[in-house]
Amino acid sequence: MQKIIRAGMLSGLALALGVSVWGQDHATTMAKLPAPVRATVEAQVAQGAKLRGLSTDMENGQREYEAELTVAGKHRDIAMDATGRITEQEDAVKLASLPAAAQAALRKQGTVVRVEAVSAQGKFEAYEAVVRKANGKRVEVRVDKAGQALPDNG
């Protein structure tokens, strides 16, 4: 009976781990990217970006590809669909460059570690910040220009 219970517990643990790993980014290489995605990344590099990493994951049931870049010394992440179209771009920005309301909203959450301006199809969408709470835990927070909380993008 104890063997059955242990086997059930191990199966449950494996299932739980499998579910938690499924929603995470998985590192990939240029060779594994679809040709249109590879072309988009290569175009970014040709324009002076330094490629720091590639990953893929599922976003809303669709395969998404992400490139981590450095552009003019600043961090930039781009997300692309399978056609190579950039669906979202995140650019590192200084907290002091945000509107006062957005700065205040982020500071209210804890110590701001880093901030990115998020855009989709070239239009501003949100400020996304990594904030360290009083208990040391880091969380991701999204706000608009007015400091209103926005849902995380996934």
**Can you give the pLDDT of all 154 residues of the chain as single tens digits?**
333 333 333 333 333 333 333 347 899 999 999 999 999 999 999 999 999 999 999 988 999 999 999 999 999 999 999 999 999 999 999 999 999 999 999 999 999 999 999 999 889 999 999 999 999 999 999 999 999 999 876 5
Q: How far is CA 109 from CA 13, 31, 130, 139, 141, in A?
A: 33, 41, 10, 9, 8
pLDDT of residue 57: 94
Q: What structural domains does the chain harbor? A: 25-86 (3.10.450), 94-154 (3.10.450)
- Report pTM: 0.79
Half-sphere exposure of 60 (CA within 13 A, CB side): 5
